[in-house]
Structure 1
Amino acid sequence: MEGLYQRCYKETLFYSALRSVFFISCLLHSVFMGGYVPGHHSVLLINSPNEQAAKDIGRAIMERRMAASINILPKTSTMYYWKGEIQDATEILMLVKTKTSRIQNVIDYVRSVHPYENPEVLCFPVEGGSLSYMKWMDEAIPDD
């Protein structure tokens, strides 16, 4: 078992380094060619039990400069399995726009303050869009 762990750990380090090199080369391409690197930004979906919780979490994320923008959408009807049973609930959906490099910061923060035992945080990479908007996002969120 120890050998398997060491092999997986080494492979993880290798692929992590490879991803870093790829990401840096994409950023350099973007700077010199003026294009967008798909996946540099992400949108996170976060559900909250009520509007006040969403506003409190959203404001704290913004104050910590972990996102450029957050939309808080009105009531959504949600069905989900919880502890073996189907639940029906009304929730508030947040759309958090951030740099992909800040996702883990947002997730860690949300988990530390969210009233749910297992809060929903789903991430989707931005493949393209308005370059001027994405430039504004980069300016709004400080580098790590």
Structure 2
Amino acid sequence: MDTKLLVIVLCLMVTVSWTQDDQCKEGKRCRKFFQYTINNQLQKPYFRSSINLRVYPFVRMIRYMEEAVLINPEGFINFRANFTSPYGYYVDTIHLLTEAYKVNKTYWQISNSSGPLDVGVSSYKPVPGDKILFNFTQGGHCGRN
């Protein structure tokens, strides 16, 4: 088989496989998407927003957070991240709500189905089926997200 023809066939196969699973259906695990949720039930104004985002190879969580703000600016108004070594970027503000760990021990905790994550948003790469939660939390250990 000619090399050009082989490349064209492979590209068509990849395109067809990507378009077959583009929508998440209720009750089914999405094979190419993950769920990103922000939650604040700690102080007013309370909010909770979720979005399903397509997983792309080698893309880190901070890029998906940017995408969520662009796709749904009402649900994901903004976020701010600061760089610290050795964690990379950690999130200190989401949806206009800023942590105050030194004052009242509030912070944005990032977790997935396995529990709290101990890496920054510039390191973590979501995988299909992930459920990433940023929860505004008080007390406990402030692991940098």
Question: One fold, TM greater than 0.5?
Answer: no
* Alignment TM class, shorter chain as reference: 0.3 to 0.5
Q: TM-score, normalised by structure 2?
A: 0.32
- The structure in which a higher percent of residues are helix is 1
Relative contact order higher in (CA < 8 Å, ≥ 6 apart): 1
